[in-house]
Structure 1
Amino acid sequence: MNVSVDNMSSLTCEERRYIGRTTVDFDTEAILRYLLVGYLILLFPFSVCLNGFLIILMATIKSLHQTVYFLALQVVVLDFGLSIFVLPITIANAIAGKWTFDPTFCSLSIFVIHLIRMTRYWLMFVFVSDRFASVFFPFSYLQYQKKFVIILSIMAWAISLSFAILPVALDCEVFSRVAFYCTGGNGCTNTNVCQSSRLVTVTLTNIMGSFVPLVLYIILFLKAKMLQKSIIVPNCDGDDSNRRNNARHNTTFFCLFLALFGVNVIPFSFFILGNSILNTLSIPPPSQYVITTIIFRSLYNILPLIDAIAIIRNSDFRQAIRLFKSKLLVKRNRFVTLLRRMDSV
């Protein structure tokens, strides 16, 4: 495969930053762009509808108005914002092959995208920490749970906000022909500072939002397995069936959590660490690396869908969905009865 070198040397940095750089030939990039567009167009309605439904569900069903579901609501709202904000921007830019919006909107989009994604990671740390404390300190933690969750949530938002402001304050915005939206990786006059700040903030966010929650959840999963083996259950078909169902749901949720971890870490490893190493060593990225990075980078966009599926797997949410359906049926029957009365008048 032929690797093309940018022939935009006559343009200023300010002009190049909204066009981006590519190290693959433009025919290959065009194929990758349209594959990405098709993938995102298929993903968009499922992600928006599923997360929108969860927001309505948590807002209308009183049984979900609990501290732990307050965390879930924050994650779902962020995923919904990610779907309706990032996906259309990415689709438009991937079709055009460049930044198609106003340059000022580039800085704004960096701030919004960084805030949404980093807050989602840090809230995952809060969510798993809350579950961990609930299991290992069930009695002493209960009276402090609300304060603990609120304080950690405020810290998560504050840290994410400071990290989101950083690339804008350092003037690091540039259009990425890998992500197909503006990122905070390379400035015109302070490239090393921009790359270093991104590496530090994203590494810290992934450690706290991916690695630490994974370790805590593995401990929780093993704890649940030990409890299942130690509890003596009567030899009854119904009880045995319930135990198998609970074990299956726990295993499924654990697999979804591993999927979340993989979707977080694989793009991070290729996109952030790989670029940082290549830039530090002044090595031009090979075309195979660019193609792989584009593919893995697009995995980030499926996070809202995996989050929504994982939340729906919760038994309380399944029960809430049934209650929501029954409420809709009641309202439908009332509406039909009203129409019949109006017809009979």
Structure 2
Amino acid sequence: MSEEVILPYIKKIMNDVNHLKKKMIYFNESPVVCYRGESADYGETSLMPSIFRKINDSNFSDRKLLELLKDYNIVNSKDDSDLTRAIEGQHFAQLSRLLDITFSILPALYFSSDDKDKDGVVYSFVFPESFSPNSSYLNDYYSSIVNHKFYPYIRDFKVISHSYENDRIKSQAGGFLMFSGTSFVKIPSLYYEKTIISKSDKIKIKSELSDFFNVNEATIYPERDKRGALLEKRLINGANIIDPDDNEFFKNELNYHINKIQLEASLMQNDSKDKTVKRFIRKSKEDIDKFIDKNNNLSIDCINKKSYEELKNEADSRMNFIEKNI
């Protein structure tokens, strides 16, 4: 009897996760572990949501997408939040700022084993935290983006924990990474390891996944729908302009990103030269300044209540502290 192909891959992925967790546990005792399988190494477009691959950002409107999801009866009209509708429509529209992930190694191996002519990749992630798709914070945050209430931080992405909005997400133990900006910024490699899946092993991996774990096309894709192609065409050709409005949680968002910069700089310090870390912090200071400036131009509520200069000074003080203590 031939030796199983899948076991060395699973062992390698588990070792990678344990390595990442050892670094992350210092910041969070219960880090979030998740995975994504891609059927080839797509280089610059790896780990990129479909919105950034398919259309120019100036043509994209989250609000238009949500309206079309309703028009084509892809989401239930009773879905009571923008984020719920976006998640429900993700697998039909195939055009969004959400990137599918899974909280199980097995679906990641399945997707990485598509396209038998190329080596695949399993990305193993360890993040400090995730957000429930039902949390008021995440729903308010997404709605603020949809309605142009504030301009998101350029490098922001959020991990959305297990979601059970439809059968396919359930079967894939699925969640999402939500990229907030109007242009794609890569996830820092500090958060993940890559496992290359040899093209010569892909057929055997698919077979073993089915035989030993009941992971196959029937269980991964419990439903199929063709309406997404029509919706995508309408979305690309359409336009929808929304006026900006006030936002109440900008300062919390600002603090969140500065905390994340501190985390990333600390993780980077273990693997990079001092000059690299310093460059990262200097660039982050520039990004934070732009974040405040752009939202000030939108007349965000908390910036109206608190002077622009005061916000800038507080942010500069925190960033200077990080720079001196890393």
TM-score with structure 1 setting the length: 0.29
Q: Which of these two proteins has the greater Rg computed from alpha carbons? A: 1
Q: Which has the higher helix share?
A: 1
TM-score with structure 2 setting the length: 0.30
Q: Which has the higher strand share?
A: 2
